[in-house]
Amino acid sequence: MDFFSFVEGPLLWIAFLIFIIGSLIRVATFVSLSTKKDKIIYQHFSWKYVFATLVRWILPLNKDLVKNPVFSILGYIFHICLIVVPIWYAGHITLWEESRFEWSWSSIPDGLADWMTLIFLAIAIFFLLRRIFSPGIRLISAFSDYLLLIVTALPFLTGYFLTHGTLDGIGFWGDNMQLFHMLSAELMLILIPFTKLSHYILFFFSRGASGVEFGRRGYSI
């Protein structure tokens, strides 16, 4: 088995397993710690507070949108593109159809995927420059914040180059772009459970807990 076959096969499944198992462990750890340290939340637990705060934060109905409208709107667009493009891109769905699972679902048009990718990359660049040049944001930013933003953007960048043949005329880069795309995506999957990227799932638990805490006091967040 050559390196490309390893990346395309075993390493891909290893990355998915680490992503899934690691995410489940993070959730179990969060719930376990919260039951010990935040017992009052469970004593006053209410699905009404949980759903109310999740709806306000998943939809643009929260107070942050009023305080920081531009950043909040870009954040929503960023996350929508981050979720929609990898899952509903036709090329990715084809891979699932050809896998042992033979899963299939409707895809978005390739043209829409292209535009969402470019918009995502533009926002990622904006977020990166904001961290670099905004004194307040730079002060609270760690090296991992810059690194994770780059890691998140790389699968989109390499995917766009791959589908459009952007660097095909540049020997090494053009010849190995599919490999770079797979490696960057697998790297992101592996890092998700162990970094701030785990907020993709912990957000629902932490926001729900905050909703219960503030809701029982008569506040909304």
21 vs 221 pLDDT, higher one = 21
Of the pLDDT bands very low, low, confident and very high (cuts 50, 70, 90), residue 209 is confident
Q: What is the DSSP string of 62-96?
A: SHHHHHSHHHHHHHHHHHHHHHHHHHHBHHHHHHH
pTM of structure: 0.89
Give me the domains of the chain, ranges plus CATH numbers.
3-45+62-208 (1.20.950)
Distance CA 71, CA 77 (A): 10
| Confidence at residue 72, expressed as pLDDT on a 0 to 100 scale | 86
Beta bridge partners of 161: none
Span 121-151, pLDDT tens digits: 999 999 999 999 999 899 999 999 999 999 9
Span 31-64, pLDDT tens digits: 888 877 777 677 767 777 778 788 877 777 667 7
| Confidence at residue 100, expressed as pLDDT on a 0 to 100 scale | 86
208 vs 199 pLDDT, higher one = 199
For residue 201, count CB atoms less than 10 angstroms from its CB and return exposed for 0-12, middle for 13-18, buried for 19 or more.
middle
3-state SS assignment for residue 116:
helix
Rounded to a whole number of angstroms, the CA Rg of the chain reads 20
